[in-house]
Chains A and B, each alone.
Chain A
């Protein structure tokens, strides 16, 4: 077994990919915590605690849930909103993967090519990626681990992310909801959110075409 641990950074300008250090992905029903394979329940418990301990807990939804590809994507989006309300956490979208130059607006978006800018700007100390395609998530997770001290998590729809400090696999609406329930249960048991007060960023864009989803 590898002695390597997928810890929050800043690790190095170019941290090694976790898989090259011997970190393997969890099997169904499991998750990983810093590279250690654990039963999924243990991962829920720690993820919920990490969010409640954090000053700026943040959810990063990706294109797979931001865009209404199908009904399941829209349902996952609703589940993410429930999770954000339960913690409470900021929602900052990664709407696509274009290298956006000359700059991004770090209050309202995160870009996989320089995710550290969003983390630094908002002083994010715990985050979760949901609905980001594998290769872009791994790239972004590595950059965050390289240059920031943010605790990274991933709710992956496939086999999990070894480059996150904590990862679930086979993400579904039920799994996102289970994380929400774990947060609510801990709160009931007396664990208080240490998060800074914040107002969810909302655009004041005036809509002429309002999407309808009946």
Chain B
């Protein structure tokens, strides 16, 4: 990891728009200790977002980008939906796929990267809505898990099709009425985290994005485990404030309510024993690295 990959030609430096200079100068690329705490003080990997004001997807997106262990060598695969409006602003390689096809695209991509760059770590991360992951793309999602494809799938679960005006999705809760589903959902929210674990995912997490450090940990775990073991799945509750009739400032409260004891988004994780041991080792390494970085910073002062 280094800034080597994003150098501006010296003769052109003065002519580059400031946002690019800023990106090269202050982005967190190459910083092994990068974290969600860099949001706001260093150059973020999203310039602007094009979501509704206060949409929790926007902050979830930032946390995810800040948590990727290897952003320069990560390729994200997106799908149609509200998230796809943000990808053009993201300073990480990304591919837009046909709605629902994201996990098929990611499978091919990950395999091709492995052939093309056998000596390099290249992470592939899918980021798609619940409609793309659980309904229209469910076949592609699950087949990639059955095959043990080595990448991470992240689902922004806003419990409906937000981008097309609020149709019912498999992840919608039973009884919920939305603008384009006036009858109300007749069956239960699909238990995709459990299905994912049964289908071959080595690490699964389901939570809201109310706590950045938790999101960071989970994303990092998922990417590292996908590198070593096989498919991983993270489901994040990012409520569509527009569809549930909340104000811009109310997204956080909505998430906190939804993760309270007994509610549907109490944080949960599933992992194999091997993964548990691996993550424990990884945690110890991370702690040591953090300590060393702190000591080095103190010595430099």
Contact = CB atoms under 8 A, between A and B. Distances in A.
A121 to B, nearest CB: 14
B14 A202 contact: yes
Interface string B1-38: 00100111111111111101110111000000000000
Interface string A54-69: 0000000100011110
Nearest to A108: B17
B14 A203 contact: yes
A100 B88 CA distance: 8
B88 A66 contact: no
A77 B26 contact: no
A67 B11 CA distance: 10
B9 A73 contact: yes
Given A66-B8, A68-B8, A203-B21, A209 B15 contact: no
A61 B11 CA distance: 11
B50 A93 contact: no
Contacts of B24: 209, 211
A65 B9 CA distance: 7
Interface string B76-88: 0000000000001
Nearest to A81: B11
B89 interface: yes
B9 A93 contact: no
Given A65-B9, A73-B9, A98-B89, A208 B26 contact: yes
A95 interface: yes
A100 B11 CA distance: 25
Interface in A74-124: 74, 76-78, 80-81, 91-93, 95, 98-101, 105, 108-109
B88 A98 contact: yes
Which of A68, A78, A202 has the most B CB atoms < 10 Å from its CB? A68
16 contacts: A61-B12, A61-B15, A65-B9, A66-B9, A67-B7, A73-B9, A77-B11, A101-B50, A108-B17, A202-B15, A203-B16, A207-B21, A208-B26, A209-B26, A211-B7, A211-B24
Given A68-B8, A81-B12, A92-B15, 14 more contacts: A61-B15, A67-B7, A68-B10, A76-B9, A91-B15, A100-B88, A105-B17, A200-B15, A202-B14, A203-B15, A203-B18, A205-B22, A211-B8, A213-B10
Give me the 8 closest cross-chain CB pairs, A-B, nearest first.
A77-B9, A68-B7, A77-B11, A78-B11, A209-B25, A81-B11, A205-B18, A98-B88
Interface of B: 3, 6-18, 20-22, 24-26, 50, 88-89
